[in-house]
Amino acid sequence: MKKSITDPTVKFFIVVIGLVVLFGVLKELQHIIVPLIIAYLLVFVFEPLNTFLNKKKIPKSITTIIDLLIILGFFWGLSRFIIDSFSRLGQELPFYEQKLNNIVQNTAVSFGITDKMFRDFNITNILKQIDYGGIASGLFSSTLSLFSAGFFILFFFIFVSSSHVRIIEAIKKRYIRRQTEISLEDIEKNLITDQKKNEKIDKIKNERKKKIEKTFKDITEQVQRYIATKFLISLVTAILIGIVLWIFNVDFLIVWAVLTFFLNFIPNIGSIIAIILPTLMTLIQYESVGYTLLVAGILTVIQNLIGNILEPKVLGNKLGLNPLIILLSLLLWGYVWGIAGMFLSVPLTAVVKIIISNSESSNLQFMSDLMES
Protein backbone atom coordinates (compact mmCIF):
# COMPACT_ATOMS: atom_id res chain seq x y z
CA MET A 1 0.00 0.00 0.00
CA LYS A 2 1.38 3.40 -0.95
CA LYS A 3 2.14 5.80 1.88
CA SER A 4 1.03 9.37 1.41
CA ILE A 5 2.86 12.35 2.85
CA THR A 6 0.52 14.05 5.30
CA ASP A 7 2.86 16.34 7.25
CA PRO A 8 2.05 19.93 6.05
CA THR A 9 5.63 21.08 6.71
CA VAL A 10 7.08 18.29 4.56
CA LYS A 11 4.55 19.03 1.81
CA PHE A 12 5.43 22.72 1.93
CA PHE A 13 9.17 22.17 1.52
CA ILE A 14 8.63 19.60 -1.24
CA VAL A 15 6.54 22.17 -3.14
CA VAL A 16 9.18 24.88 -2.56
CA ILE A 17 11.99 22.61 -3.80
CA GLY A 18 9.89 21.62 -6.80
CA LEU A 19 9.23 25.27 -7.71
CA VAL A 20 12.92 26.16 -7.38
CA VAL A 21 13.86 23.26 -9.69
CA LEU A 22 11.06 24.21 -12.13
CA PHE A 23 12.12 27.85 -12.41
CA GLY A 24 15.77 26.78 -12.67
CA VAL A 25 14.90 24.60 -15.66
CA LEU A 26 12.81 27.41 -17.19
CA LYS A 27 15.77 29.79 -16.82
CA GLU A 28 18.25 27.37 -18.38
CA LEU A 29 15.97 26.50 -21.32
CA GLN A 30 14.71 30.03 -21.93
CA HIS A 31 16.05 30.12 -25.51
CA ILE A 32 13.59 27.36 -26.38
CA ILE A 33 10.71 27.92 -23.97
CA VAL A 34 10.30 31.70 -24.48
CA PRO A 35 9.84 31.44 -28.29
CA LEU A 36 7.43 28.53 -27.71
CA ILE A 37 5.31 30.59 -25.28
CA ILE A 38 5.35 33.63 -27.60
CA ALA A 39 4.28 31.37 -30.47
CA TYR A 40 1.42 30.02 -28.36
CA LEU A 41 0.33 33.56 -27.41
CA LEU A 42 0.35 34.47 -31.12
CA VAL A 43 -1.95 31.51 -31.76
CA PHE A 44 -4.38 33.02 -29.23
CA VAL A 45 -4.02 36.44 -30.86
CA PHE A 46 -4.74 35.13 -34.36
CA GLU A 47 -7.56 32.80 -33.28
CA PRO A 48 -10.40 35.29 -34.06
CA LEU A 49 -8.96 35.94 -37.53
CA ASN A 50 -8.40 32.23 -38.16
CA THR A 51 -11.94 31.39 -36.99
CA PHE A 52 -13.32 33.98 -39.41
CA LEU A 53 -11.21 32.62 -42.28
CA ASN A 54 -12.23 29.03 -41.49
CA LYS A 55 -15.89 30.04 -41.67
CA LYS A 56 -15.14 31.35 -45.16
CA LYS A 57 -13.94 27.83 -46.07
CA ILE A 58 -10.29 28.91 -46.37
CA PRO A 59 -7.91 25.96 -45.78
CA LYS A 60 -5.91 25.82 -42.57
CA SER A 61 -2.61 25.95 -44.47
CA ILE A 62 -3.62 29.21 -46.17
CA THR A 63 -4.68 30.81 -42.87
CA THR A 64 -1.31 29.87 -41.36
CA ILE A 65 0.49 31.50 -44.31
CA ILE A 66 -1.62 34.66 -43.87
CA ASP A 67 -0.71 34.73 -40.16
CA LEU A 68 2.98 34.35 -40.98
CA LEU A 69 2.85 37.15 -43.56
CA ILE A 70 1.26 39.47 -40.98
CA ILE A 71 3.93 38.60 -38.40
CA LEU A 72 6.77 39.03 -40.90
CA GLY A 73 5.31 42.32 -42.15
CA PHE A 74 5.08 43.67 -38.60
CA PHE A 75 8.66 42.75 -37.71
CA TRP A 76 9.98 44.01 -41.07
CA GLY A 77 8.32 47.40 -40.51
CA LEU A 78 9.60 47.55 -36.93
CA SER A 79 13.16 46.68 -37.98
CA ARG A 80 13.11 49.30 -40.76
CA PHE A 81 11.91 51.90 -38.28
CA ILE A 82 14.69 51.04 -35.81
CA ILE A 83 17.39 51.10 -38.50
CA ASP A 84 16.19 54.46 -39.90
CA SER A 85 16.02 55.97 -36.40
CA PHE A 86 19.58 54.89 -35.54
CA SER A 87 20.78 56.16 -38.91
CA ARG A 88 19.29 59.59 -38.27
CA LEU A 89 20.68 59.63 -34.73
CA GLY A 90 24.15 58.83 -36.07
CA GLN A 91 23.96 61.74 -38.51
CA GLU A 92 22.95 64.22 -35.78
CA LEU A 93 25.23 62.83 -33.06
CA PRO A 94 27.86 65.67 -33.27
CA PHE A 95 25.07 68.23 -32.65
CA TYR A 96 23.91 66.44 -29.49
CA GLU A 97 27.49 65.93 -28.33
CA GLN A 98 28.01 69.71 -28.36
CA LYS A 99 24.71 70.22 -26.52
CA LEU A 100 25.76 67.76 -23.81
CA ASN A 101 29.16 69.46 -23.47
CA ASN A 102 27.42 72.80 -22.93
CA ILE A 103 25.09 71.34 -20.28
CA VAL A 104 27.95 69.85 -18.22
CA GLN A 105 30.13 72.96 -18.54
CA ASN A 106 27.31 75.41 -17.69
CA THR A 107 26.18 73.26 -14.75
CA ALA A 108 29.74 73.20 -13.39
CA VAL A 109 29.95 77.01 -13.65
CA SER A 110 26.55 77.51 -11.98
CA PHE A 111 27.62 75.34 -9.02
CA GLY A 112 30.99 77.06 -8.77
CA ILE A 113 32.97 73.97 -9.77
CA THR A 114 36.39 74.97 -11.08
CA ASP A 115 37.74 71.50 -11.71
CA LYS A 116 39.32 71.33 -15.19
CA MET A 117 37.60 68.02 -15.92
CA PHE A 118 34.15 69.66 -15.74
CA ARG A 119 35.15 73.08 -17.08
CA ASP A 120 36.66 71.59 -20.25
CA PHE A 121 34.31 68.61 -20.44
CA ASN A 122 34.14 67.03 -23.90
CA ILE A 123 32.01 63.95 -24.49
CA THR A 124 34.01 63.20 -27.66
CA ASN A 125 37.11 62.37 -25.58
CA ILE A 126 35.08 59.92 -23.54
CA LEU A 127 33.58 58.33 -26.65
CA LYS A 128 37.08 57.76 -28.04
CA GLN A 129 37.91 55.57 -25.04
CA ILE A 130 34.94 53.27 -25.60
CA ASP A 131 35.69 49.77 -26.87
CA TYR A 132 33.62 49.90 -30.05
CA GLY A 133 34.90 46.48 -31.07
CA GLY A 134 33.36 44.94 -27.96
CA ILE A 135 30.13 46.86 -28.49
CA ALA A 136 29.98 45.77 -32.13
CA SER A 137 30.62 42.17 -31.09
CA GLY A 138 27.85 42.42 -28.48
CA LEU A 139 25.44 43.94 -30.98
CA PHE A 140 26.26 41.26 -33.53
CA SER A 141 25.71 38.54 -30.92
CA SER A 142 22.44 40.16 -29.80
CA THR A 143 21.27 40.48 -33.41
CA LEU A 144 22.01 36.79 -34.05
CA SER A 145 20.13 35.86 -30.87
CA LEU A 146 17.20 38.02 -31.95
CA PHE A 147 17.09 36.44 -35.40
CA SER A 148 17.36 32.92 -33.93
CA ALA A 149 14.54 33.74 -31.48
CA GLY A 150 12.43 35.07 -34.35
CA PHE A 151 13.11 31.93 -36.37
CA PHE A 152 12.12 29.71 -33.43
CA ILE A 153 8.93 31.74 -32.90
CA LEU A 154 7.88 31.29 -36.54
CA PHE A 155 8.95 27.63 -36.47
CA PHE A 156 6.94 26.91 -33.32
CA PHE A 157 4.00 28.98 -34.56
CA ILE A 158 3.60 26.79 -37.67
CA PHE A 159 3.46 23.59 -35.64
CA VAL A 160 1.50 24.96 -32.68
CA SER A 161 -1.20 26.49 -34.91
CA SER A 162 -1.67 23.15 -36.68
CA SER A 163 -1.70 21.00 -33.54
CA HIS A 164 -3.27 23.35 -30.98
CA VAL A 165 -6.74 21.75 -31.19
CA ARG A 166 -5.34 18.22 -30.91
CA ILE A 167 -3.24 19.19 -27.86
CA ILE A 168 -6.32 20.59 -26.12
CA GLU A 169 -8.35 17.47 -26.92
CA ALA A 170 -5.57 15.21 -25.57
CA ILE A 171 -5.42 17.22 -22.32
CA LYS A 172 -9.20 17.07 -22.01
CA LYS A 173 -9.24 13.26 -22.43
CA ARG A 174 -6.40 12.78 -19.93
CA TYR A 175 -8.03 15.05 -17.34
CA ILE A 176 -11.48 13.48 -17.74
CA ARG A 177 -10.05 9.95 -17.60
CA ARG A 178 -8.04 10.68 -14.46
CA GLN A 179 -10.90 12.38 -12.64
CA THR A 180 -13.27 9.58 -13.65
CA GLU A 181 -10.87 6.97 -12.22
CA ILE A 182 -10.76 8.85 -8.92
CA SER A 183 -14.53 9.21 -8.83
CA LEU A 184 -14.97 5.54 -9.77
CA GLU A 185 -13.03 4.48 -6.69
CA ASP A 186 -15.42 6.50 -4.53
CA ILE A 187 -18.46 5.09 -6.36
CA GLU A 188 -17.32 1.48 -5.93
CA LYS A 189 -17.09 1.99 -2.20
CA ASN A 190 -20.82 2.58 -2.21
CA LEU A 191 -22.67 -0.60 -3.14
CA ILE A 192 -24.98 0.74 -5.85
CA THR A 193 -26.39 -0.96 -8.94
CA ASP A 194 -24.47 -1.07 -12.22
CA GLN A 195 -27.08 1.11 -13.90
CA LYS A 196 -26.74 3.86 -11.32
CA LYS A 197 -23.00 3.42 -11.43
CA ASN A 198 -22.88 3.99 -15.21
CA GLU A 199 -25.23 6.96 -14.93
CA LYS A 200 -23.00 8.46 -12.24
CA ILE A 201 -19.86 7.96 -14.36
CA ASP A 202 -21.49 9.56 -17.42
CA LYS A 203 -22.57 12.50 -15.30
CA ILE A 204 -19.05 12.92 -13.92
CA LYS A 205 -17.54 12.76 -17.42
CA ASN A 206 -19.89 15.48 -18.69
CA GLU A 207 -19.15 17.69 -15.70
CA ARG A 208 -15.40 17.27 -16.09
CA LYS A 209 -15.61 17.91 -19.83
CA LYS A 210 -17.56 21.14 -19.31
CA LYS A 211 -15.15 22.25 -16.61
CA ILE A 212 -11.99 21.75 -18.65
CA GLU A 213 -13.60 23.30 -21.74
CA LYS A 214 -14.47 26.34 -19.63
CA THR A 215 -10.87 26.50 -18.37
CA PHE A 216 -9.39 26.54 -21.88
CA LYS A 217 -12.03 29.02 -23.02
CA ASP A 218 -11.22 31.31 -20.08
CA ILE A 219 -7.47 31.11 -20.80
CA THR A 220 -7.99 32.02 -24.45
CA GLU A 221 -10.40 34.86 -23.66
CA GLN A 222 -8.23 36.27 -20.87
CA VAL A 223 -5.09 36.31 -23.03
CA GLN A 224 -6.97 37.86 -25.97
CA ARG A 225 -8.61 40.46 -23.75
CA TYR A 226 -5.31 41.36 -22.12
CA ILE A 227 -3.46 41.76 -25.41
CA ALA A 228 -6.31 43.69 -27.08
CA THR A 229 -6.91 45.98 -24.09
CA LYS A 230 -3.21 46.52 -23.40
CA PHE A 231 -2.66 47.24 -27.09
CA LEU A 232 -5.35 49.95 -27.13
CA ILE A 233 -4.21 51.49 -23.83
CA SER A 234 -0.57 51.51 -24.98
CA LEU A 235 -1.60 53.04 -28.31
CA VAL A 236 -3.57 55.81 -26.60
CA THR A 237 -0.64 56.50 -24.26
CA ALA A 238 1.83 56.60 -27.16
CA ILE A 239 -0.41 58.99 -29.14
CA LEU A 240 -0.83 61.35 -26.18
CA ILE A 241 2.91 61.29 -25.45
CA GLY A 242 3.63 61.93 -29.14
CA ILE A 243 1.24 64.91 -29.19
CA VAL A 244 2.90 66.45 -26.12
CA LEU A 245 6.38 66.00 -27.58
CA TRP A 246 5.15 67.46 -30.89
CA ILE A 247 3.77 70.54 -29.09
CA PHE A 248 7.12 71.06 -27.35
CA ASN A 249 9.00 70.23 -30.59
CA VAL A 250 11.14 67.47 -29.06
CA ASP A 251 13.37 65.64 -31.55
CA PHE A 252 12.69 61.98 -32.45
CA LEU A 253 9.13 62.19 -31.11
CA ILE A 254 8.08 59.19 -33.23
CA VAL A 255 10.87 57.13 -31.63
CA TRP A 256 9.75 58.06 -28.11
CA ALA A 257 6.10 57.39 -28.96
CA VAL A 258 6.90 53.93 -30.35
CA LEU A 259 9.10 53.14 -27.34
CA THR A 260 6.28 54.27 -25.05
CA PHE A 261 3.91 51.88 -26.83
CA PHE A 262 6.18 48.86 -26.31
CA LEU A 263 7.44 49.81 -22.84
CA ASN A 264 3.84 50.14 -21.65
CA PHE A 265 3.57 46.33 -21.91
CA ILE A 266 6.07 46.10 -19.03
CA PRO A 267 4.08 46.81 -15.83
CA ASN A 268 5.23 49.73 -13.63
CA ILE A 269 8.88 49.87 -14.77
CA GLY A 270 8.11 50.39 -18.46
CA SER A 271 6.17 53.63 -17.92
CA ILE A 272 9.03 55.07 -15.82
CA ILE A 273 11.57 54.39 -18.58
CA ALA A 274 9.13 55.84 -21.14
CA ILE A 275 9.21 59.14 -19.19
CA ILE A 276 12.96 59.26 -18.55
CA LEU A 277 14.13 58.83 -22.17
CA PRO A 278 12.23 61.75 -23.81
CA THR A 279 12.96 63.86 -20.73
CA LEU A 280 16.72 63.39 -21.24
CA MET A 281 16.28 64.19 -24.93
CA THR A 282 14.48 67.44 -24.00
CA LEU A 283 17.27 68.41 -21.58
CA ILE A 284 20.01 67.80 -24.16
CA GLN A 285 18.09 69.50 -26.96
CA TYR A 286 17.05 72.69 -25.14
CA GLU A 287 19.64 72.88 -22.33
CA SER A 288 16.89 74.18 -20.06
CA VAL A 289 16.04 72.58 -16.72
CA GLY A 290 12.72 74.45 -16.42
CA TYR A 291 11.58 73.45 -19.90
CA THR A 292 12.63 69.85 -19.21
CA LEU A 293 10.76 69.73 -15.89
CA LEU A 294 7.62 71.05 -17.61
CA VAL A 295 7.76 68.30 -20.26
CA ALA A 296 8.58 65.65 -17.64
CA GLY A 297 5.69 66.81 -15.46
CA ILE A 298 3.15 66.57 -18.30
CA LEU A 299 4.42 63.13 -19.34
CA THR A 300 4.24 61.95 -15.72
CA VAL A 301 0.65 63.19 -15.37
CA ILE A 302 -0.38 61.35 -18.57
CA GLN A 303 1.30 58.11 -17.48
CA ASN A 304 -0.25 58.33 -14.01
CA LEU A 305 -3.76 59.07 -15.28
CA ILE A 306 -3.64 56.16 -17.70
CA GLY A 307 -1.53 53.76 -15.61
CA ASN A 308 -3.11 54.32 -12.20
CA ILE A 309 -6.71 55.22 -13.09
CA LEU A 310 -7.73 54.13 -16.59
CA GLU A 311 -5.70 50.92 -16.95
CA PRO A 312 -6.57 49.33 -13.55
CA LYS A 313 -10.23 50.19 -14.17
CA VAL A 314 -10.27 48.57 -17.60
CA LEU A 315 -7.55 45.91 -17.44
CA GLY A 316 -7.81 45.04 -13.76
CA ASN A 317 -11.48 44.16 -14.05
CA LYS A 318 -10.82 41.96 -17.07
CA LEU A 319 -7.94 40.00 -15.54
CA GLY A 320 -8.97 40.13 -11.89
CA LEU A 321 -5.32 40.18 -10.73
CA ASN A 322 -4.09 41.78 -7.52
CA PRO A 323 -1.67 44.68 -8.29
CA LEU A 324 0.83 43.23 -5.81
CA ILE A 325 0.72 39.89 -7.62
CA ILE A 326 1.36 41.70 -10.93
CA LEU A 327 4.43 43.42 -9.43
CA LEU A 328 5.76 40.17 -7.94
CA SER A 329 5.18 38.31 -11.21
CA LEU A 330 7.05 41.09 -13.05
CA LEU A 331 10.06 40.63 -10.75
CA LEU A 332 9.92 36.82 -10.88
CA TRP A 333 9.54 36.38 -14.64
CA GLY A 334 11.97 39.26 -15.22
CA TYR A 335 14.57 37.39 -13.17
CA VAL A 336 13.89 34.11 -14.98
CA TRP A 337 13.67 35.38 -18.58
CA GLY A 338 14.88 39.00 -18.52
CA ILE A 339 13.05 41.57 -20.64
CA ALA A 340 11.04 38.87 -22.42
CA GLY A 341 9.82 37.65 -19.03
CA MET A 342 8.68 41.18 -18.13
CA PHE A 343 6.57 41.36 -21.28
CA LEU A 344 5.12 37.89 -20.65
CA SER A 345 4.64 38.25 -16.87
CA VAL A 346 0.99 39.39 -16.84
CA PRO A 347 -0.47 36.95 -19.40
CA LEU A 348 1.45 34.04 -17.82
CA THR A 349 0.19 34.98 -14.35
CA ALA A 350 -3.36 35.27 -15.68
CA VAL A 351 -3.10 31.76 -17.17
CA VAL A 352 -1.76 30.35 -13.87
CA LYS A 353 -4.62 32.01 -11.96
CA ILE A 354 -7.26 30.53 -14.28
CA ILE A 355 -5.78 27.03 -13.95
CA ILE A 356 -5.53 27.03 -10.15
CA SER A 357 -8.96 28.66 -9.75
CA ASN A 358 -10.46 25.59 -11.45
CA SER A 359 -8.69 23.22 -9.09
CA GLU A 360 -10.52 21.45 -6.27
CA SER A 361 -7.52 21.74 -3.93
CA SER A 362 -8.19 24.01 -0.96
CA ASN A 363 -4.57 25.24 -0.98
CA LEU A 364 -4.73 26.19 -4.66
CA GLN A 365 -8.11 27.86 -4.09
CA PHE A 366 -6.47 29.89 -1.32
CA MET A 367 -3.70 30.96 -3.73
CA SER A 368 -6.35 31.89 -6.30
CA ASP A 369 -8.11 34.06 -3.71
CA LEU A 370 -4.82 35.81 -2.91
CA MET A 371 -4.34 36.61 -6.59
CA GLU A 372 -7.79 38.20 -6.88
CA SER A 373 -7.91 41.98 -7.30
pLDDT on residue 2? 46
pLDDT on residue 253? 85
pLDDT at 105 over 70: no
Distances 162 to 10, 60, 200, 245, 290 between C-alpha atoms, Å: 42, 8, 36, 45, 57
- Asked if residue 102 is part of any domain, the answer here is yes
- Asked if residue 14 is part of any domain, the answer here is no
Nearest to 256 by CA among 93, 89, 125, 373: 89
pLDDT on residue 1? 43
Give the separation between CA 78 and CA 113, rounded to whole angstroms: 45
pLDDT on residue 191? 47
Using a 10 angstrom Cβ sphere, with 0-12 exposed, 13-18 middle and 19 or more buried, the burial of residue 144 is exposed
Give the separation between CA 30 and CA 77, rounded to whole angstroms: 26
- Asked if residue 255 is part of any domain, the answer here is yes
Residues 150, 31: contact at Cβ < 8 Å? no
pLDDT on residue 28? 87
Task: Taking residues 241-258, report their average pLDDT.
Answer: 89
The domain of 142 spans 25-371
Task: Taking residues 117-126, report their average pLDDT.
Answer: 57
* Lowest-pLDDT range of 147-151, 229-233, 284-288: 147-151
Task: Taking residues 248-264, report their average pLDDT.
Answer: 87
pLDDT on residue 126? 58
Confidence of residue 298 (pLDDT cuts 50, 70, 90): very high
Give the separation between CA 346 and CA 259, rounded to whole angstroms: 19
User: Average pLDDT over the chain, rounded to whole?
Assistant: 76
pLDDT on residue 215? 73
Residues 35, 152: contact at Cβ < 8 Å? yes
Residue scoring higher pLDDT (319 or 132): 319
Give the separation between CA 309 and CA 302, rounded to whole angstroms: 10
Residue scoring higher pLDDT (156 or 224): 156
pLDDT on residue 240? 93
pLDDT at 94 over 50: yes
Task: Taking residues 184-204, report their average pLDDT.
Answer: 58
- Asked if residue 153 is part of any domain, the answer here is yes
- Asked if residue 7 is part of any domain, the answer here is no
pLDDT at 41 over 50: yes
Which string of b and e fits 121-139 if b means at least 16 CB within 10 Å?
bebeeeeeeeeeeeeeeee
pLDDT at 326 over 90: no
pTM as predicted: 0.73
How many separate domains does the chain show?
1
- Asked if residue 307 is part of any domain, the answer here is yes
Confidence of residue 4 (pLDDT cuts 50, 70, 90): low
Distances 358 to 8, 267, 322 between C-alpha atoms, Å: 22, 26, 18
- Asked if residue 11 is part of any domain, the answer here is no
- Asked if residue 297 is part of any domain, the answer here is yes
Give the separation between CA 297 and CA 294, rounded to whole angstroms: 5
